[in-house]
Amino acid sequence: MSPRLVIWDVDGTLIDSAGDIAAVMALAFADEDLAAPGPEAVRAIIGLTLEVAIDRLHPGLGEARVARLTRGYKAHFHSRREEIGVAGAPLFPGIRAVLEGLAAESDMRLAIATGKSRASLGPILAGHGLSGMFHSVQVSDDHPSKPHPAMVLAALAETGAAPATTVMVGDTSFDIDMARAAGVRALGVAWGYHPVEGLGADAVAQETGDLAGLLARLTTGGRHG
């Protein structure tokens, strides 16, 4: 019997990182004498692979300049981490308890699908004491940007889970569209960075206390509402 699988987005779903991302993006844009994108514009691209996100924030820069901005963002991001601690942005309240509860279920597997790089994600998981909790970790180093389904398909292959008992949890349309493209269910969260209206998820968790019940239902073939 295949396991149940819950795949987690990171920014806006597990951790509250919008402020950090906007601050670092402003520094990277300043290095290129470009006006900093506004907080709402930054929130709209969180979850995408960095190069894709930068191109959306300022279309037409060209490949070389996008590459410089990407390198600058990464350098500023790691400098900021040294200032505020390796874990960086905090977990949303209640997330740790949800993850620990799911990890204790013998037929449950946990995975991550994030637009972050491996170098960025590793310290976050370690800093929050979550290293080793996830059976599959998919990052931007190895896959096209969301909403391409590659991350979800890789997590399915690594865990042996079936699409029918797999749920992608995320806060953005990129997460939901990725889930749809991979043929798995999608659970939106209301505390993240995209408006929940129009996400098209199978269900939306209004608070972290809703997650356990919704995931139990969705990973066993049920649908909310």
Domain hosting residue 118, numbered range: 4-16+89-218
Same domain, 11 and 23: no
Same domain, 135 and 192: yes
CATH number of the domain at 148, please.
3.40.50.1000
Rounded-to-integer distance, Cα 209 and Cα 92, Å: 11
In a domain, residue 12? The reply is yes
Burial environment of residue 99 by CB neighbours within 10 A (0 to 12, 13 to 18, 19 or more): buried
Whether the per-residue pLDDT at 193 is higher than 80: the answer is: yes
In a domain, residue 61? The reply is yes
Domain count along the chain: 2
Confidence band for 78, pLDDT divided at 50, 70 and 90: confident
Nearest CA to 220 among 153, 157, 164? 164
pLDDT for 86: 52
In a domain, residue 99? The reply is yes
In this predicted model, what pLDDT tens digit does every residue of 96-133 receive, in sequence order?
Answer: 999 999 999 999 999 999 999 999 999 899 989 999 99
Higher pLDDT, 42 or 83: 42
Please give the average per-residue pLDDT across 156-160, as a whole number: 98
**Active-site residue, from 9, 171, 175, 210:** 9
Residue 201 contacts residue 26 (beta carbons within 8 Å): no
Whether the per-residue pLDDT at 65 is higher than 60: the answer is: yes
Same domain, 124 and 145: yes
pLDDT for 225: 42
In this predicted model, what pLDDT tens digit does every residue of 195-222 receive, in sequence order?
Answer: 999 899 999 999 999 999 999 999 997 6
Residue that terminates a domain, selected from 62, 84, 106: 84
Same domain, 152 and 75: no
In a domain, residue 224? The reply is no
pLDDT for 3: 96
In this predicted model, what pLDDT tens digit does every residue of 144-154 receive, in sequence order?
Answer: 999 999 999 99
Known catalytic membership, residue 107: no
Higher pLDDT, 199 or 85: 199
Same domain, 46 and 63: yes
Same domain, 110 and 178: yes
Whether the per-residue pLDDT at 224 is higher than 50: the answer is: no
Known catalytic membership, residue 9: yes
In a domain, residue 51? The reply is yes
Confidence band for 43, pLDDT divided at 50, 70 and 90: very high
Same domain, 104 and 170: yes
In a domain, residue 209? The reply is yes
pLDDT for 1: 78
Same domain, 176 and 117: yes
Beta pairing partners, 188 = 170, 204
